[in-house]
Amino acid sequence: MAFEAHTFQTYTPSGKAYTLHYKIWGANNPKDKTLICVHGLTGNSGDFRYIGEQLSTEENMRVVAIDMAGRNDSDYFEDPLDYNFEQYLKDIDGLLKEIDCTAPASCDWLGVSMGGLIGFYVAGRENSPIRRLVLDDIGPEVPKEDLEYIAQFITTPAEYDRPEDLVPLLKMALGSPYSRGNMSEDQWLHFARTYTRKNNNGKFGRNMDAGIAVMFHQQPLGTLDLWEVWKQVSQPILAIRGGLSTLFPQYVADKMLKTKNGNRIDLVTMEDCGHVPSLYRRDQIDIIADWLRHPPL
């Protein structure tokens, strides 16, 4: 099923208007079967193509995937310091209003890495619109070493003659803590095309604003700790962990299992993946579909 492209307008703290883009697969499917998908730091809505296509056609779901500011088709901020969780939450509130999912427990949430952290904040609110939460390789704690790796990665210039040239480099991560797992050739190519955009010089670079990296240089990097936010999250959770991941280590997953408030948490480990499982493959998407189809007690 093809997606519909939509936009809405929101504002920076200084009052400047900007436009965010989002996609909907299954726009005419029941509103009470809405799954909101939020990507990671360097991702965008294209990461959810395979989930959107499968869940909208086979599960009759309405799948909504946003391009957060500075990614893909959404506007870039003039002030890079606006790339922060406070602004992201304001933008998500705009999306929830736009797709009519503001009522308590009116939608499900799939958060990849950064999208999961945003999900913690939204889920922890009183009368949260999130009914159930699916997390892709993220917990309330991110080790300092992984934040340092990410900071170095996103500040290293990268340009390619064609998106296809990126595929062999992406495959080099297989078996590492940052592996997306095995994929088909078409899926690797989709990832490369989603990850890149054509620059003014004709080369292809990252499909994101370079200013996003500025936040990593404005404050000392330490372990990211959202355990206090975690205490407020009571919804059922499916936590997906890459077996090779260091960003979502086993000890964090174990602590989540022991300290979960309210409804249960289910943990699934995808052994051939690191950070993050791509969620491109049918076997991965089937796990999510089955969990959403059979609500946990």
Domains and CATH numbers, the chain: 3-293 (3.40.50.1820)
* pLDDT in the model for residue 295: 66
Predicted confidence (pLDDT) per residue in 195-208, tens digit? 999 999 999 999 99
Mean pLDDT, range 129-135, rounded to an integer = 98
Nearest Cα residue to 36 out of 100, 111, 94, 97: 111
pLDDT at 216 over 80: no
Predicted confidence (pLDDT) per residue in 57-74, tens digit? 999 999 999 999 999 999
DSSP class of residue 160? Answer: B
As given in the structure block, the two tokens for residue 278 are: 């791509």
Mean pLDDT, range 54-58, rounded to an integer = 98
pLDDT at 296 over 90: no
pLDDT at 220 over 60: no
DSSP class of residue 177? Answer: T
Q: How confident is the model at residue 158 (pLDDT cuts 50, 70, 90)?
A: confident
* pLDDT in the model for residue 286: 98
Mean pLDDT, range 21-47, rounded to an integer = 98
For residue 3, give every residue at least 6 positions away whose Cβ sits within 8 Å of its Cβ, in sequence order, or none: 23, 24, 25, 49, 52
* pLDDT in the model for residue 221: 62
pLDDT at 152 over 90: no
Q: How confident is the model at residue 219 (pLDDT cuts 50, 70, 90)?
A: low
Mean pLDDT, range 35-49, rounded to an integer = 98
CA 292 to chain centre: 18
Q: What is the mean pLDDT of the chain?
A: 95
pLDDT at 230 over 90: yes
pLDDT at 224 over 90: no
Q: d(Cα 126, Cα 232) in Å, to the nearest integer?
A: 9
CB 104 within 8 A of CB 78: no
Question: Inter-axis angle of helices 49-58 and 282-293, to 10 degrees?
Answer: 50
Q: How confident is the model at residue 214 (pLDDT cuts 50, 70, 90)?
A: confident
Q: What is this structure's pTM?
A: 0.96
Q: How confident is the model at residue 185 (pLDDT cuts 50, 70, 90)?
A: very high
Q: d(Cα 264, Cα 275) in Å, to the nearest integer?
A: 24
Mean pLDDT, range 105-125, rounded to an integer = 98
